[in-house]
Amino acid sequence: MMNYRPVKAFINFEALKSNLKQVRAFAPKSKILAVIKANGYGHGMTRVAEQLSMADAFGVASIDEAIKLRHKGFLHRILLLEGLFCESEFALVIQHRLDFVIHSEHQLDWLMRLNHSQPLNVWVKIDTGMHRLGFLPEHFPKVIKKLQTLKVQPNIITMSHFASAGESTAFTLEQLDCFNSLTQGMNGAKSLANSAAIQNLPAAHFDWVRPGIMLYGAGDLSTGQQLSPLKPVMTLKTEVTSLKWIEAGESVGYGQTWKATKKSFVGVLAVGYGDGYPRHAVSGTPVLVAGKRVPLIGRVSMDMITVDLTDLADSVQIGDEAILWGEGLPVDEVAKHASTIAYELLCGVTARVPIIEVRAS
Ligand SMILES: *Cc1c(COP(=O)(O)O)cnc(C)c1O
């Protein structure tokens, strides 16, 4: 069946490849572990992996994502970013030659019990202050000693994760100090930087950088001063499907949250929270209609949103293109208006939205 509903997510392959090159430019001495968990941040994991095949490794959240990549023929190193969720996953980890994180004692116990014959790539995670995953600094040396008693010596990569790489410099530097003092003199590879630190903190680049959001051209560090070299990969588009004038004092949408202060031209766009457009987007959230910024008005519905097109009343027509985010309208800006982050919007595009792959013309 054809789907004539106009909402579509366009995925720009050139932008993906260009963003990977930007990661290399930011961290020229580091290997790149491209993070493609959560279905490639909503862009389609395999599609993204194909475009990023020049990366040195991939990072995923679960073993099924990793196995899917192996089945598609990817021979890259693939890291399970949260490690194993249960001991029985080890059979598949070994069969598919996966790298894995160990962040807690129970995972260490599973590994120590494992009777394996080939060397494993074990990423040992230190909790340098985020207090989510990772061994506490005081336990870390013991963990390393224990790993060194394995029959087959593992290849140990030491890693940690920043809590506020995009915001708090002081705390980020504390985490970096902690990481440096614990790993000083260790031979193995080290990894610390996510997208924000790749762009902000060269001292955190080490052997492996782990870019996620920047590969997708988002995660604006919102200094606004310099133009980001990153290009938006996803552009979410739809069309104008209804136009009408309403009088001053009349309201629009569920709950009548927006009232016209003057005679207003209201446009309906075919996109809603059923597509992943955030229901929390407030009146005033920017939308591009026929290339011009207009404000969202009223509540976001499941399949529709309403916009104030009074300023475009002379020219706008049914079927005109509307961009919800992407080229010309940063997803970070839309996310702010919905009290969230670009990550959530990109991951949240729902399965009913067709993906259109845009290759170089
Ligand atoms: C998701 C993730 C990243 C990528 O973070 P971005 O902010 O998207 O660059 C890096 N490292 C780990 C451990 C992650 O889980």
pLDDT tens digit string along 192-214?
999 999 999 999 999 999 999 99
Any binding-site annotation on 302? Answer: yes
DSSP state of 77: E
Task: Give the span between the Cα atoms of 284 and 239, in whole angstroms.
Answer: 19
With a pLDDT cut of 90, the percent of the chain lying above it is: 93
Q: Does 81 contact ligand 1 (Cβ within 6 A)?
A: yes
Residue 73 alpha carbon to ligand 1 centre in Å: 24
Which pLDDT band, with edges at 50, 70 and 90, does 169 fall under? confident
Task: Give the span between the Cα atoms of 102 and 134, in whole angstroms.
Answer: 8
Which pLDDT band, with edges at 50, 70 and 90, does 228 fall under? confident
Long-range Cβ contacts of 167-174 (<8 Å, 24+ apart): 171/129, 172/197, 172/201, 172/204, 174/128, 174/129
Whether the predicted pLDDT of 1 surpasses 80:
no
Residue 230: left (phi > 0), alpha (psi -120 to 50), or beta? beta
With a pLDDT cut of 70, the percent of the chain lying above it is: 98
Whether the predicted pLDDT of 346 surpasses 90:
yes
Any binding-site annotation on 132? Answer: yes
The angle at the Cα of 199, spanning 50 to 62, to the nearest 5 degrees, equals: 45
Q: Does 39 contact ligand 1 (Cβ within 6 A)?
A: no
To the question of domain 234-358 being in CATH 2.40.37.10, the answer is yes
Neighbours of 264 (CB within 10 A): 20
Task: Give the span between the Cα atoms of 37 and 172, in whole angstroms.
Answer: 24
Residue 289 CA from chain centroid, whole number: 26
Neighbours of 134 (CB within 10 A): 22
Which pLDDT band, with edges at 50, 70 and 90, does 226 fall under? low
Read off the amino acid at residue 323.
I
Atom of ligand 1 nearest to the CA of 343: 8
Atom of ligand 1 nearest to the CA of 214: 9
What is the dihedral sign for C-alpha 16, 18, 20, 23? negative
Q: Which of 19, 20, 33, 35 to mutate for ligand 1's pocket (most ligand atoms within 8 Å of CB)?
A: 35
- The mean-pLDDT minimum among 14-28, 82-96, 225-239, 283-297 falls in 225-239
Q: Which of 241, 261, 239, 260 is nearest to 251 (CA)?
A: 260
What pLDDT score does 329 carry?
97
Residue nearest (by alpha carbon) to ligand 1 atom 6: 212
- Backbone φ and ψ of 266, nearest 5°: -100, 130
What pLDDT score does 360 carry?
80
Task: Compute the average pLDDT of residues 130-157.
Answer: 97
- The mean-pLDDT minimum among 50-64, 130-144, 214-228, 302-316 falls in 214-228
DSSP string, 285-310: -EEEETTEEEEEES---SS-EEEE-G
For the chain, where do the domains classified as CATH 2.40.37.10 start and end? 234-358
Which pLDDT band, with edges at 50, 70 and 90, does 171 fall under? very high
Task: Compute the average pLDDT of residues 127-149.
Answer: 97
Active site residues: 37, 254
What pLDDT score does 221 carry?
62
CATH architecture of 13-220: Alpha-Beta Barrel (3.20)
What pLDDT score does 135 carry?
98
Task: Give the span between the Cα atoms of 199 and 358, in whole angstroms.
Answer: 27
Task: Compute the average pLDDT of residues 10-38.
Answer: 98
For the chain, where do the domains classified as CATH 3.20.20.10 start and end? 13-220
Task: Compute the average pLDDT of residues 80-89.
Answer: 98
Kindly state the tokens that stand for 243: 């136009």
Residue 323 alpha carbon to ligand 1 centre in Å: 27
What pLDDT score does 220 carry?
77
Task: Give the span between the Cα atoms of 158 and 102, in whole angstroms.
Answer: 10
pLDDT tens digit string along 26-50? 999 999 999 999 999 999 999 999 9
Q: What is the average pLDDT score of the chain?
A: 96
Whether the predicted pLDDT of 71 surpasses 90:
yes
Residue nearest (by alpha carbon) to ligand 1 atom 8: 212
Strands (E) in 149-302, as ranges, are: 155-159, 190-191, 208-209, 234-246, 251-252, 258-259, 264-269, 286-289, 292-297
Task: Compute the average pLDDT of residues 167-189.
Answer: 93
Read off the amino acid at residue 349.
V
Kindly state the tokens that stand for 258: 């927006």
